């Protein structure tokens, strides 16, 4: 049985092992594949029965050109890189990895917020540059340090990651709001479910943890920002297209919003002229909230479980079959 990994590098740049997969079948590994060259992808898949992909697209033209493909394993939670309808038409099972980075994504979201409110990195840079040594007083601060206790956080998307973020913020003494009708259940978190508009109006911090759909694309826009508190903070570790970046840039420049912490952008890799680049009150990390070695090891472990379950005719984590 032939197994092909189309883009191994992001999940495993060399600090993990593919040995368990090699024991299952004849494994071919490509570090990267060109999404702009479907013929290359078709040739790499060849007559493989199982294909693993992280961000390499397996679209209709590729699926229709394969002769022996039976299982596509997406080494991520999001599976929009695969044409599910085309896969279903050919009887190809598509599996994903639904839960592997809950703790880490919430941790990263919190780290963005803490840097925006405590400015640890900025002040450390200043100290290393000699500013403390030259200070007139025993301390100094270039940015306002903000206490989060007693403030209100609005969590949009109350699944596993949203609930974990809520728990972390609650531990800091924050009050938690979620959106009515879209909230998960948690006996460990005290929260109030409100309308989306009320969440915008009442939140000092808004953190996005929802999947991207056609209905919520650019949900953070000029209109929704106008409802927000002056000086509110926005955190996004979900999907970049949830935000109208031009509108966010305008709000950050005007001071309507005090700051934003983003791990995702609408286009990845982003063009050099992204309107958020260069704004001092906008932290941007390169979609790395999921990337801890422990998280990537789980991706490989769960993908291996997906393959074993398929081989036993009991597929799991199926998004299309």
Catalytic amino acids?
239, 268, 287
Which of 270, 272, 215, 218 is CA-nearest to residue 242? Answer: 218
Question: Which run of H or of E encompasses 43?
Answer: helix 38-45
Which of 315, 296, 297 is CA-nearest to residue 306? Answer: 315
State in Å, rounded, how far the first CA of the chain is from the last one.
20
For residue 271, what is the DSSP state?
P
Radius of gyration of the chain (CA): 22
Contact by Cβ (8 Å): 3, 50: yes
What is the C-alpha separation between 96 and 252, in angstroms, rounded?
A: 36
What is the C-alpha separation between 76 and 96, in angstroms, rounded?
A: 6
Cα-based distances in Å from 226 to 89, 140, 223: 45, 34, 5
Which of 140, 145, 165, 142 is CA-nearest to residue 155? Answer: 165
Mutual angle of helices 160-171 and 102-118, in 10-degree steps: 40
């Amino acid at each position: 049985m032939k197994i092909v990994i189309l883009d191994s590098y992001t999940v495993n740049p060399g600090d993990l092992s593919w040995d368990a997969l090699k024991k299952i079948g004849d494994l071919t590994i490509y570090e990267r594949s060109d999404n702009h060259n479907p013929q290359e992808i078709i040739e790499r898949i060849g007559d493989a029965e199982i294909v693993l992909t992280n961000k390499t697209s397996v679209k209709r033209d590729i699926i229709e050109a394969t002769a022996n493909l039976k299982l596509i394993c997406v080494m991520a939670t999001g599976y929009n890189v695969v044409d599910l309808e085309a896969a279903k038409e050919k009887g190809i099972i598509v599996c994903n990895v639904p839960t592997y980075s809950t703790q880490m994504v919430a941790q990263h979201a919190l780290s963005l917020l803490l840097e925006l409110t405590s400015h640890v990195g900025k002040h450390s840079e200043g100290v290393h540059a000699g500013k403390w040594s030259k200070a007139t007083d025993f301390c100094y601060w270039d940015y306002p340090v903000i206490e989060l206790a007693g403030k209100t956080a609005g969590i949009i998307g109350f699944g596993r990651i949203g609930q974990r973020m809520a728990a972390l913020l609650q531990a800091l003494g924050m009050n938690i709001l979620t959106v009515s009708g879209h909230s998960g259940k948690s006996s460990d978190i005290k929260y109030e479910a409100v309308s989306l508009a009320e969440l915008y109006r009442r939140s000092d911090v808004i953190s996005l943890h929802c999947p991207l759909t056609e209905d919520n694309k650019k949900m953070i826009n000029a209109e929704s920002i106008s409802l927000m508190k002056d000086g509110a903070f926005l955190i996004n570790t979900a999907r970049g297209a949830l935000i109208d970046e031009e509108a966010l840039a305008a709000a950050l420049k005007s001071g309507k919003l005090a700051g934003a912490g983003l791990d995702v952008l609408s286009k990845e890799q982003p063009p050099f002229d992204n309107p958020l680049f260069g704004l001092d009150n906008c932290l941007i990390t390169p979609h790395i909230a999921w990337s801890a070695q422990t998280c990537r090891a789980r991706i490989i472990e769960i993908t291996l479980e997906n393959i074993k379950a398929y081989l036993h005719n009991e597929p799991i984590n199926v998004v299309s079959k």
